[in-house]
C-alpha cells in the first residue's frame, strides 16, 4: 500500500462522524476469539442502563474493544498490508467505534442517577445546616 493510500484510510478512521451510518459488525475477532458483537450490543442496549448483572461484562468488553481497536489501528498505520486489507481494517475499526459509542452511551444514565443522588445529598446537608443555624430541633419551620 502506498503512503498516500494509508493516509486516506487513517483519515477515514479519524474523521469526525465516521460512525454515522456505519454498522456494528455481526461478529468480530477479539483477542483471537470470535465474538458476536452486534447481538451483544443490541442485548445490552435493550435496557435503559447497563443492568447490574451485566456491568462487569460490559466494562470488560469495552476494555477489550478499545485494545482491539488500538491494535488494528496500529496495523493499519504501520503494517505491511494491501489496500484491500486496509479497507477491511477501516470497516472493522469504524464498526468497533460504533459499538463502543453504543456501549458508552449507556453510562450516561448511570451518571445522571449519580448526579441526582449527589443533589439530594447536598439538599439534605443544606437543610441540616439550616436547622442547626436556626436552632430548630426538628423540621418545624423548614419546608422542602
Question: pLDDT tens digit string along 70-81?
Answer: 999 999 998 899
Question: Secondary structure of the chain in the HEC alphabet?
Answer: CCHHHHHHHHHHHHCCCCCCCCCCCCCEEECCEEECHHHHHHHHHCCCCCCHHHHHHHHHHHHHHHHHHHHHHHHHHHCCCCHHHHHHHHHHHHHHHHHHHHHHHCHHHHHHHHHHHHHHHHHHHHHHHHHHHHCCCCCCCCCC
Contact 127, 142 (CB under 8 A): yes
Closest residue by Cα to residue 13 from 102, 80, 88, 64: 88
Domain residue ranges in the chain: 3-105
pLDDT band at 91 (very low <50, low <70, confident <90, very high): very high
What is the CB neighbour count within 10 angstroms for residue 99? 25
Percent of the chain whose predicted confidence (pLDDT) is above 90: 31
Torsion region of 138: left, alpha or beta (phi above 0 gives left; psi -120 to 50 gives alpha): beta
pLDDT band at 56 (very low <50, low <70, confident <90, very high): confident
Cell 460490559, located at residue = 58
Residue 142: pLDDT over 90: no
Average pLDDT over residues 85-95: 93
pLDDT band at 95 (very low <50, low <70, confident <90, very high): very high
Q: How confident is the model over 109-139, as pLDDT tens digits?
A: 455 666 777 788 888 888 888 888 888 765 5
Q: Report the C-alpha gap between 37 and 60 in whole angstroms.
A: 13
Amino acid at each position: 500500500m502506498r503512503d498516500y493510500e494509508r493516509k486516506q484510510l487513517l483519515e477515514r478512521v479519524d474523521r469526525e462522524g465516521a460512525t454515522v451510518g456505519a454498522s456494528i459488525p455481526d461478529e468480530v475477532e477479539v483477542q483471537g476469539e470470535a465474538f458476536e458483537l452486534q447481538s451483544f450490543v443490541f442485548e445490552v442496549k435493550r435496557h435503559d442502563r447497563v443492568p447490574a448483572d451485566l456491568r462487569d461484562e460490559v466494562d470488560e468488553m469495552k476494555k477489550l474493544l478499545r485494545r482491539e481497536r488500538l491494535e488494528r489501528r496500529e496495523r493499519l498505520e504501520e503494517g505491511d498490508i494491501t489496500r484491500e486489507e486496509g479497507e477491511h481494517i477501516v470497516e472493522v475499526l469504524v464498526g468497533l467505534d460504533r459499538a463502543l459509542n453504543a456501549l458508552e452511551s449507556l453510562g450516561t444514565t448511570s451518571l445522571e442517577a449519580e448526579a441526582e443522588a449527589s443533589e439530594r445529598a447536598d439538599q439534605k446537608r443544606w437543610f441540616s445546616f439550616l436547622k442547626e443555624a436556626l436552632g430548630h430541633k426538628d423540621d418545624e419551620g423548614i419546608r422542602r
